Amino acid sequence: MPDCRCRAGRRATTMPGMANFTLQRGRVPLLISLPHDGSFIPPEIAARMRPAARRSPDTDWHVGRLYEPLAHALGASLIRPLASRYVIDLNRPADGHALYPGQRETGLVPTIGFDGEALYLDGESPDGAEVQRRINAFWQPYHQALAQELARLHAEHGGVVLWDGHSIRSRVPMLFEGQLPDFNLGTASGASCGAALQARLQACLESLPHFSFAVNGRFKGGYITRHYGDPGAAVQAVQLELAQVNYMDEATFEYHEAGAREVRDCIGRMLQLCLA
């Protein structure tokens, strides 16, 4: 079992020598998961990677900075990893099966980035045994904590909403054509979320004056949305993929507060609808 320590109101779960994730427990039936928020790559892994990959450029940059004040204000739970998706992708199934069959995508332990380039030096890609070690050390603790927090909130409130927060560069030719809409809502084509909540969220997106949006477009929701969402059991799961261009410089990863403020306000409106 992981070693759990509480610090400054946040429950930090650690493994020997490094932190794994943080869990901030809330008081309302809303859990925000940010599975690609981390950018840390352990030195022993980074040493085998190509120099460009060591920057972890495909991180969902600054989503924690967007969501943390919202979670605090609403009293929502918030779970965030510290390790990069290059270490292991927490939004992929542990058995490694594809989320979007027939489309190019990165895997459970990625060996290519969103630009299609190799992440590892020649001959240094992880083998099956290493993949399993990463599942044990990173994937399982995060999902165990996520499932336990969902169960706690469900038991206390009789229902819960899981909000999976993501962001990505606005143009990623390997994954989609052209420019991504600003807000991309995914509910596994309605399977992970009740029709009423989806309709409220879509109406909110339609009211945004400055942003484009898609519902169940290229991003329908990854493993977390699909696995945990069970509207019949009063567990609703929603994924939101943001185009990073609206709140940061996609080349330098610099955060732009003015743009971020408007994006954060829009997210906050949708989160409030989850609690309506």
Residue 119 pLDDT more than 90? Answer: yes
For residue 204, the model assigns a pLDDT of 97
Q: Contact 214/194 with Cβ under 8 angstroms? A: no
Residue-range domains of the chain with CATH: 3-274 (3.40.630.40)
The alpha carbon dihedral of 76, 151, 163, 95 has a sign of positive
What region, left, alpha or beta, does residue 116 occupy, with left being phi > 0 and alpha being psi -120 to 50 degrees? left
- pLDDT > 90 in the chain, percent: 87
Task: Compute the distance between CA of residue 273 and CA of residue 198 in angstroms, rounded to an integer.
Answer: 10
187: confidence class by pLDDT, cuts 50, 70, 90? very high
Mean per-residue pLDDT, 72-91: 98
For tokens 């991309």, what's the residue?
A: 184
**pLDDT tens sequence across 196-209:** 999 999 999 999 98
CA 148, CA 143: separation in Å to the nearest integer? 8
pLDDT at site 1? 29
The residue that leads in pLDDT, 93 or 10, is 93
Residue 233: pLDDT band (50, 70, 90) is very high
What confidence tens digit (pLDDT) does each residue in 149-158 have?
999 999 999 9
pLDDT of residue 16: 40
- The pair phi, psi for residue 225, each rounded to 5°, is -60, -45
Reported residue count of the chain is 276
| Cα 240 to Cα 46: distance, rounded to the nearest angstrom | 29
**What pLDDT, on a 0 to 100 scale, did the predictor assign at position 5?**
31
Q: Give me the pLDDT at residue 14, please.
A: 37
